[in-house]
Amino acid sequence: MKEIRILDKKFRELITEKAIRNRLDELARQMNSDLAGKDVVFLGILNGAFLFAADIFRRIDIKARISFVKLASYEGTSSSGTIKELIGWNEDIKNKTIVVIEDIVDTGNTLERIVDELAIRKASEVKIATMLFKPAAFTKDISLDYVGFEIPDNFVVGYGLDYDGYGRNLPSVYTLIK
């Protein structure tokens, strides 16, 4: 098993590049079949989902557009702490089928924030795609339509995901060695 170091931490390979490629083929095939005939906007969530979004989108052969939004954190003035705002909307999503493209769903807090925003913006249908999913950490009642891999509740990097800004360019997914 491949091991790498990023800054002060060591990681072990969890999902190989080949396994990711095979799963991308399967997910895209399923999407092409499920979403045929619809007016679809793929909505990538930056930064982490940029690779997954690109790799999925190049496999999509139905009529579709892609757009990206970013979750910006800033310190709130209230005791609730960090507030996350979705910025960068430049696509009219009203009455469209939206496929949210996430890198990883952990607690589901981020996803819930996005789903709420899509409801406010009156998307007609929302599908959720995530490359990675940590079922043991998930606390929400939101169904995930396309899941790449279910993984244990342990910190991972690679394939778009970072540790302190590094590791996003790794072609496979690595898990933290504690």
User: 48 or 148: whose CB is closer to ligand 5GP?
Assistant: 48
Smallest gap from Cβ 32 to ligand 5GP, in A, equals: 25
Binding site for ligand 5GP (CB under 6 A): 48, 103-111, 155-157, 161-162
User: 34 or 112: whose CB is closer to ligand 5GP?
Assistant: 112
Q: How far apart are CA 43 and CA 99, in angstroms?
A: 6
Beta carbons of 102 and 160 less than 8 angstroms apart: no
Structure tokens of 82? 């960090």
Q: How far apart are CA 172 and CA 168, in angstroms?
A: 10
Smallest gap from Cβ 46 to ligand 5GP, in A, equals: 10
Secondary structure (3-state) at 54? helix
User: 34 or 162: whose CB is closer to ligand 5GP?
Assistant: 162
Smallest gap from Cβ 138 to ligand 5GP, in A, equals: 7
Smallest gap from Cβ 155 to ligand 5GP, in A, equals: 4
Secondary structure (3-state) at 26? helix
Active site residue 153: no
Catalytic residue, chosen from 8, 55, 106, 162, is 106
User: 97 or 110: whose CB is closer to ligand 5GP?
Assistant: 110
| Catalytically annotated residues | 106
